[in-house]
Amino acid sequence: MMKFSVSKLSPEGGRLGVLSDIHQSTKQRDVEVLTPACLMYTRGGSVPHLTLDMVRCLPHQSGIVELTVSSFIEYRETMDGFKDGLAKFVGISNALTYLAVQDSCKSAPAGYNDKSTVSVWAPSGRFRLNSASFMSFQRAAKSNITEALCDGDTREGCSKKRIQKAVNKTLQFLDEILEENLNAETCQQTEIFGVIEGGDLLSERLRSTKETAKRPVAGFVLDSFGESFMKEETRWKLLEPIIKELPEDKPRMLPQIGEPLDVLLAIENGIDLFSAFYPYQITGTGCALVFSWSDENKKTLNYQTNRPDDINEGFYIDLNNKKFAEDFSPVLSDCECYCCQHHTKAYINHLLVTKELMAGVLLMSHNVHHYLSYFEAIRQAIKSDTFALMKKHIQEQHMRTDR
């Protein structure tokens, strides 16, 4: 079974950990995952906008790629015939794979889950899944880690009765999936992460947490904590009591949180894993991440233009803005990504204005590079007991970010 060991508990909040001995259903290399970490976000098995060669050049990767059921459910028969699993199917056979039920970057339509199934949405439409059909899909996918089937359709304002049903159904799914996984052949087994539901009701969140923690799961997913499910202040009120009920020796994932300050607040509360969907979200708006995580880092990543309105930007700059049309400096002067080493803000502005596909390629290469470097900096901050300083620095930029 997968092992998770905590290497350091920071007095300032957060913890360093190592994931190891992850069940390998294919011939991947042995990987140790240092946490806090983010899983590489994909759509259809590919990092949006980037080629596989570009992805391989990105630094500080966790080694785990996030795949979603919704991206592949309509190819189930093809996957059955292929027989070698999703990682090889999409050309990433050396990576560990995490199979998520829903896309971290977007909310599934509300109101389509019934008492025995959960709906996922593929390009061709709606598919209903129960625990049997879900595990049948997983056996074809051969994912290393699998998020258990769950009912996360508990948006803000949901009735207590609906939330209770979602918790009950998610626990039932988990029991059926664990039994199915236990009875599977060794080569088909996967590490199961139990999912904690409960909407914005603390009582139901705690019930879901305590019951899930009783099961032999490899880790925990705190689902439905995104913006469309609850207010920000509610999220942080719920998170602390939930974490207190979870065992220390198993990882916790919070998939729908990605903004830099939110990530730090979650880590401070004891979260270990995230989805790297945020760079894709920012890229889609024509923006580039420019936030720094320390005073020293701010000096090295500062803008060459030295204009006050640039220096006081928040987490990102909007390269659609015409003020960048004649700015021939890189996005960040000391960034080592392909975009910053070879291109300028003016060029990216031109690509955005003319709606060239290369705009997404360059922005995504920079944004993912910057985001992965941020997680490496977080690990170093916890290690060196400078996490509180980093948090203060990020909070200052958060105040300047136009959201």
Alpha helix locations (H) across 294-357? 295-300, 308-311, 338-342, 345-353
Mean pLDDT, range 59-66, rounded to an integer: 96
Categorize the per-residue pLDDT at 301 as very low, low, confident or very high, splitting at 50, 70 and 90: low
What is d(CA 264, CA 283) in angstroms, rounded to the nearest whole number?
A: 21
Residue boundaries of the structural domains of the chain: 3-276, 286-400
Mean pLDDT, range 295-316, rounded to an integer: 58
Burial of 354 (0-12, 13-18, 19+ CB in 10 A): exposed
- Most distant pair of Cα atoms in the chain: their distance: 63
Categorize the per-residue pLDDT at 157 as very low, low, confident or very high, splitting at 50, 70 and 90: confident
Supply the angle between the helices 358-383 and 345-353 in degrees, to the nearest 10: 130
pLDDT one-digit tens code per residue, 42-53 = 999 999 999 999
pLDDT one-digit tens code per residue, 242-283 = 999 999 999 999 999 999 999 999 999 999 999 999 999 999
Categorize the per-residue pLDDT at 228 as very low, low, confident or very high, splitting at 50, 70 and 90: confident
Superfamily covering domain 3-276: Queuine tRNA-ribosyltransferase-like (3.20.20.105)
**Over 60: is that where the pLDDT of 28 sits?**
no
* Count, residues in the chain: 403
Tell me if 273 sits within 8 A of 98, measured CB to CB: no
Task: Please give the helix or strand (H or E) that residue 29 lies within, else none.
Answer: none
**Sequence-ordered list of residues with C-beta below 8 angstroms from that of 265, at least 6 positions apart, any chain:** 236
Q: Name the DSSP letter for residue 232.
A: H
Q: Given this model, what pLDDT does residue 360 score?
A: 98
> Three-state SS for 184?
coil
> Three-state SS for 376?
helix
Task: Please give the helix or strand (H or E) that residue 57 lies within, else none.
Answer: none
> Three-state SS for 40?
strand
What is d(CA 117, CA 127) in angstroms, rounded to the nearest whole number?
A: 9
150 is in an annotated binding site: no
Burial of 19 (0-12, 13-18, 19+ CB in 10 A): buried
Rg (CA), the chain: 21
366 is in an annotated binding site: yes
**Over 50: is that where the pLDDT of 55 sits?**
yes
Tell me if 340 sits within 8 A of 321, measured CB to CB: no
38 is in an annotated binding site: no
For 39, list phi and psi in degrees, rounded to 5.
-80, 140
Q: Given this model, what pLDDT does residue 135 score?
A: 94
What is d(CA 67, CA 40) in angstroms, rounded to the nearest whole number?
A: 9
Q: Given this model, what pLDDT does residue 307 score?
A: 42
- pLDDT above 90 covers what percent of the chain? 81
Amino acid occupying residue 339: C
Inter-CA distances, 83 with 44, 63, 77, 108, Å: 18, 23, 10, 29
> Three-state SS for 206?
helix
Task: Please give the helix or strand (H or E) that residue 136 lies within, else none.
Answer: helix 131-141
Q: Where are the beta strands (DSSP E) in 48-197?
A: 64-68, 96-100, 118-122, 125-129, 145-147, 191-196
Categorize the per-residue pLDDT at 304 as very low, low, confident or very high, splitting at 50, 70 and 90: very low
> Three-state SS for 275?
strand
pLDDT one-digit tens code per residue, 331-347 = 999 999 999 999 999 99
337 is in an annotated binding site: yes
What is d(CA 119, CA 111) in angstroms, rounded to the nearest whole number?
A: 9
